[in-house]
Chains A and B, each alone.
Chain A
Amino acid sequence: MKTVVIEHLARVEGHGGITVELEGDTVGSVRFDVFEGARLLEPLVRGKRYDEVAAILSRICSICSVAHSLTSLKATENAFEVRVSPQTELLRELLYRGESIESHALHLFLLALPDYLDYPSATALAADRPAAVLLGLRLKKLGNSIQEAIGGRAIHPVNAVPGGFGRAPAVEQLIELRNGLIEGVADAKAAIDLMASLPAADFCHSDTIYAALRANVDSYYAGDEVAVVSDGGQTIVPAADYRTLTNERSVPHSHARHSRFQGKPFMVGSLARLSVNPGRLSGSLAAPAARLDFRLPAGNPMDNNKAQALELAGDVERALEIIEQLLRARIRDEPPAPVHPRAATGTAITEAPRGLLIHSYTYDGEGRILSADVITPTALNAASLEAHLRQTVEQCAERDDAVIAKRLQMIARAYDPCISCSAHLVRRR
């Protein structure tokens, strides 16, 4: 029996990454361990007032703090039947696009790119190819600037509140963002060119089931139905019935619960969004998709990186469109819609950068949380990632530990998992 272990995935001791057991050419157990901050923070909101919840749960993740904050607000508003204004919908979508630009740029340039180009880290890559890293940092900064201007601060937005926004961004801020985004269009094109130039990562083939929000408009925030697609078939799951999608169960080797739909793992994230909503690849994304040789249905989980690059280009364009809409509509401060707490349950699903994010709360009559359920994309992806890790090893003709380990890391990273990023520690060697 041989064991391949890739540790150091987590920052919290005792949660150790990927373990694969091999018996000759036969793959035994494959285990992926995630430390799930969401599970630990859920109890902290019990008894909290409805207007405190989003600020607390945004701290589940620093990269996805906007996603957690906005999904939390949407769940609360669904519980109390609050309808937000069209301006609020646009601002929230813009905030979401800022987070997506930042998150995809960070992942593609600082985490995935060193793998493709065979560098041990982003710092090593930066020493040899600074232009590539600086391109990623410029795009990341663009995403940050949107979040800071709209969300009110660089991290854990405070401006989005139940029913609306604390204050609308000034016209001057939007114009400044627009100018940055116009420059960002060229950077996003350069990102596509860079991705297209990378060596193929073609070592895992799989019939994958994808799940994503089905939306009539190009939106990460709007929509209340999840579509699950496989082999040309499609099943719709309303947000309120999310448990029929997730079917969570504990597994002994991981802190995250695993989800299966009709007994099978499914993948969420950029690749799933484009698989569920292929119409997004028409128009301006058609040429970049062809440049990347990106085709649906995708049978290679590594294509999630290509899908992120396409979304990055789409996010920059969509953010520009939203700003133009806001300027045309003469954006102004408007009071948040009134919130009348009552005993109720509200569920919301949105598309965080790395996939479906679910928040579901039950409130008492005074608007205090009785129970909270938060399911992250990384938890939803855990079973699918394990399946793809297994297939990667099974399809690897070389039984060389280094080759297997590199491929396992690339597959895990392609999922862009959020592993214990609610914590931030330095460790001694």
Chain B
Amino acid sequence: MKPLLLIGLGNLLMGDEGVGCFVAERLAEDPRLPESAEVMCGGTDMFRYADRMEGRSRVFVVDALQDKGEPGSVWVFEEPFPGLDDRQEHAHHLSVCQAMALLGMTLAVRFTLLGISIPSAAAGSGLSPALTSRMPAILDRVLQEIIGAPEALLFEI
């Protein structure tokens, strides 16, 4: 098992909201990705991949961030994710912060959230021009976090 797992979250049919999945798809084919990292697209339900997180040294979650930041900005959040909305959702989902907290408790996994500021979330396939033009910089920044993680120096665990 590779020590690092990166999960991209989002819906590919909801425009910029799917940026996490688009990033995961691009990174999976990026030769700069370290051998110690595995990448997957997790859709909109990270609980389904609990089995694949278990036993990892660290899990990076890439998700769209609804804020007033410059579109394409990448923000790094460590547990307990200060500044993020972690209220209980009323839908049949937990918020991403709650899901990470719960999975962290039950799987003993360390999570890092990489939030990407998006200008909008609306139905449609593909990213907006604003995010598309920023994609190389987004990938550089996400890779910087992965490569810079101490766990990236580990091999199979």
Contacts and interface: CB of A to CB of B under 8 A. Distances in A.
Contacts of B115: 426
Contacts of A429: 83-85
B70 to A, nearest CB: 14
A137 B47 CA distance: 9
Interface stretch (B27-35, B89-97, B137-145, B147-155): B89-97
A412 B17 CA distance: 26
B64 A425 contact: yes
Interface in A24-67: 37, 40-41, 43-44, 56, 59, 62-63, 65
Given A123-B98, A126-B106, A421 B48 contact: no
Nearest to B100: A123
A103 interface: yes
A273 interface: no
Contacts of B113: 426
Nearest to B12: A59
Interface string A1-38: 00000101111110001000000000000000000010
A422 B44 contact: yes
B71 interface: no
A111 B87 contact: no
Given A110-B102, A122-B94, A427 B66 contact: yes
A123 B100 CA distance: 10
B92 A421 contact: yes
Interface residues of B, number: 49
Given A44-B13, A154-B49, A428-B67, A103 B87 contact: no
A359 to B, nearest CB: 16
Interface in A370-429: 409, 412-413, 416-429
B93 A428 contact: no
Interface in B55-81: 63-67
A407 B56 CA distance: 40
B53 interface: no
Nearest to B97: A426
Given A8-B87, A123-B105, A421-B93, A427 B17 contact: no
Given A63-B45, A424-B11, A424-B63, A123 B123 contact: no
A144 interface: yes
A106 interface: yes
Interface footprint category on A: 35 or more
B90 A62 contact: no
Nearest to A424: B44
B3 interface: no
Contacts of A306: none
A179 interface: no
B66 A426 contact: yes
A114 B94 CA distance: 12
A158 to B, nearest CB: 13
A141 B51 contact: yes
B104 to A, nearest CB: 9
B24 interface: no
**Residue among B45, B67, B92 with the highest chain A CB neighbour number at 10 A:** B92
B123 A44 contact: yes
A258 interface: no
A247 to B, nearest CB: 25
A85 to B, nearest CB: 28
Interface of B: 9-14, 17, 20, 42-45, 47-51, 63-67, 83-85, 87-98, 101-102, 105-106, 113, 115, 118, 121-125
13 contacts: A9-B90, A62-B45, A110-B94, A121-B94, A126-B106, A409-B90, A418-B91, A421-B92, A425-B66, A425-B121, A427-B66, A428-B84, A428-B85
Given A8-B87, A141-B51, 10 more contacts: A9-B91, A10-B91, A41-B123, A59-B43, A62-B93, A133-B106, A417-B92, A424-B96, A425-B64, A426-B96
